[in-house]
Each structure stands twice: as C-alpha cells, then as structure tokens.
Structure 1
Amino acid sequence: MKRLFAGPCLFLFAASVWSAAGYSSYSSYSPARPQPTSLAPLSGELPVIALGIRGSARQVNTAELERGMLYQVRTRSFWPADDGVYQGPLLADVLSRYGMGKVKAIRVFGGDGFSQLIPCEDWERWPLVLATRREGHPLSRREKGPVRIIYPRDMDKTLEDTLYRLRWVWLIERIEPVN
C-alpha cells in the first residue's frame, strides 16, 4: 500500500517543484525562447533592407537594424542545415522603430523573388527574430542573409505547421506595411 501511495506523491511533489520554479509558464526561460544577448556591433555598410512603402521606404543597413537590444534563439528550422543559433533584433522592435508597429500585417520580399504576408498576430504572439547573424557571425547570402526571419519553432508546437514554414523569409530586401 505504501508503494502505491509513494509513486503518485513523488510525482505530485516533482510537479509542484517544477511549477514553483516557473517552468510551466509560457514566459519563463526556455532555450527555444529568444533571450537578450550582447554582441560587438557590426560596422556600417551599404543598405541591405528597405522598410516602408515602395518609393518612400527607408534604406537600412544591418548595423542600424541591430541598434537596440539583440536577441538570440536556438531553434530547429524546417531545413536541417539551417538549424542553429541566430541573433538579431525582434521583428516587433524593428517595426516599431520604423513606424510600422501598429500595422495589421507586413509583406516581406526576398531577393529570390519570394514574398510572404506575415500578420501582426505572429509578432505579437511569438518573439520573431529578424536575424542578422548565425552563431555570432554576420549572415552571408549563402546562409540566406544578410537578413532573414526566424520563428522560435521549438517554443510552440503550433509553429510546426507548414503555414509557418512559408513565413521564414530569407534574403530579405524589403518589408512593406499592409493595412
């Protein structure tokens, strides 16, 4: 009888310790959740991305994109060769900084001709990273840079859906607001 009672008690004790430590909270630390990081600033360079409506878009380089808080996330991608640790600002922070924080969606254009609509619900729900680095080094075109969107896929099972695979835009050249 004692053995039957001890197993569930041990489980309940472990669960309460786990919960008290904050591990059950969505907002608690997780290796899959982007965390603030500190990296040496990139040097000024030619503009790599246009933010805003075509014709009046602001040309921004990676050093300007990285102004402010940088985050890093270790995540699996839909392409195993792209798994790893990425660094960059949060997409929501960049959009706010350049006057697009209240838009309903953005259209992101890649240099390969691909474009994708990303609704504001995505960057409000998850901390999307506008990656400028991988493993601390600037993203090359071979690594689908110099700028790409990284969803913290390991943070939420919802992000396993193919719908979100299409939103991992790389070789980003332009981000336009959609209202």
Structure 2
Amino acid sequence: MSFRLLLIAAALAASGTAQSQPTELPTPEGQVLLVVTGEIAATNKADAAHLDRTLLEALPRHELETSTSVTDGVNRFEGFLMRDLLEWVGAEGDTAAAIALNDYLIEIPMADFHDYDVLVADTMDGEALTPRDKGPLWIVYPRDDHRELQDIRYDYRWVWQLYRLEIQ
C-alpha cells in the first residue's frame, strides 16, 4: 500500500473518533472534485475538505440500481454513500446545501442520508460520469426501493454535477 493510501486510511480511521477535535485530511494531489464546508471536523485546506478522486475512492464503494426521472429505464450507479462521506469529515448539522457546477442549489435534510442509502455516484452503467453527462459526481437516491422517494420533492435533491456541500 502506498504511503498516500496509508494516510487516507489513517484519516478514515480517525474520523470515527470524537468529532469535537479537528482532524486533518490528506491533501488532494489531483483535481478537486468536491469541497465540503461548514460544520465539519476534518479539513485539509483552511476550514474545508477538498477532495480529489483518489481521496473519494478511499471511501467504501457501493452499487445501486434504480430508475431516475431524467434517464430511461433502470441504471446501475457506483460510488460512495453520502453518510460515509459525512462521517469521514465529521459533519454535524441538520442540512447539507448541495451545489452544482451550474450553481443549482438545494438544501437536503441530513436525515435523508441516514434514512436511505443515498449514493454519490461517479459512474453510471459502468461509465465514468463527466460534466457532460451529469458528473463527475451525482447524488442518487434509491428511488425504486422506497415508494416515498418517487416524489418530486426528492427528485429535486438528485444533484448532478455536484461540486460543493455546505453543512449547516
């Protein structure tokens, strides 16, 4: 295992400790895909968590098959659970403001991420998501697994081209 991956593993392990103590995350070496700010305990640049693909891929990987309101049929998404990311950065709050590259913003109750296996997908049907096709990160709900998620209120929370989370 490379030294960088050992640092990432150590940061992941440290995130399970008391959240009142700040934790320093590894510094991203690649292009930053996601910035998490606000009420978080683990940071790596000022008061924010700047995360590149390598850092995000250190989180446990999950798959989800579901339909969406903007694609045809059932798609297979891969990525990490939002709750794993929030635990890793020591997020404390009631709301996550999700912001897309086009400045779309919606406030999502943090309870969603604990009540459902909400995925931050980086692939769809085996293909890496790019900004041209809703990537590089897309918040995906398991809508086919829960009738209540088949509601327009939840459809608004499917943020594609996600690049920022502000924990409030």
- TM-score band by shorter chain is 0.7 to 0.9
Among residues 40, 44, 53, which one is paired with 2:38 in the alignment?
Answer: 53
Matched, 1:99 2:90: yes
Matched with 2:100 is 110
| Uncovered stretches (5+) of structure 1, i.e. residues with no partner | 1-43
Among residues 28, 45, 70, which one is paired with 2:61 in the alignment?
Answer: 70
The letter for the 2-side match of 1:166 is: Y
Q: Which moved more, 1:81-90 or 1:65-74?
A: 81-90
Contact 1:132–1:145 at 8 Å: present in 2 too? yes
Matched, 1:128 2:118: yes
Residues of 1 paired with 2:73 and 2:35: CA distance?
24
1:141 offset after TM fit, Å? 1.0
Q: Which has the higher helix share?
A: 1
Contact 1:62–1:132 at 8 Å: present in 2 too? no
Q: Which moved more, 1:53-62 or 1:135-144?
A: 53-62
RMSD: 1.8
Structure (1 or 2) with the larger CA radius of gyration: 1
| Uncovered stretches (5+) of structure 2, i.e. residues with no partner | 1-28, 40-45
Matched, 1:148 2:133: no
Q: What SS is found at the alignment partner of 1:89?
A: strand
Which string of whole-angstrom CA distances, capped at 9 and with x for unpartnered residues, describes residues 92-137 of structure 1? Answer: 000110111x321100000111011110121111000011111233
Among residues 56, 80, 86, which one is paired with 2:71 in the alignment?
Answer: 80
The letter for the 2-side match of 1:134 is: M
Contact 2:100–2:160 at 8 Å: present in 1 too? yes
The letter for the 2-side match of 1:61 is: D
Residues of 1 paired with 2:52 and 2:126: CA distance?
17
Q: Which has the higher strand share?
A: 2
C-alpha change, 1:57 and 1:82, in structure 2 (3 Å) is: farther
1:50 offset after TM fit, Å? 0.5
TM-score, scaled relative to structure 1? 0.70
Q: Identity rate of aligned residues, in percent?
A: 25
C-alpha change, 1:74 and 1:82, in structure 2 (3 Å) is: same
Residues of 1 paired with 2:50 and 2:140: CA distance?
21
Among residues 147, 153, 162, which one is paired with 1:163 in the alignment?
Answer: 153
Residues of 2 paired with 1:82 and 1:60: CA distance?
31
Q: Which moved more, 1:108-117 or 1:137-146?
A: 137-146
Runs of 4+ in 1 over 3 A off after TM superposition: none
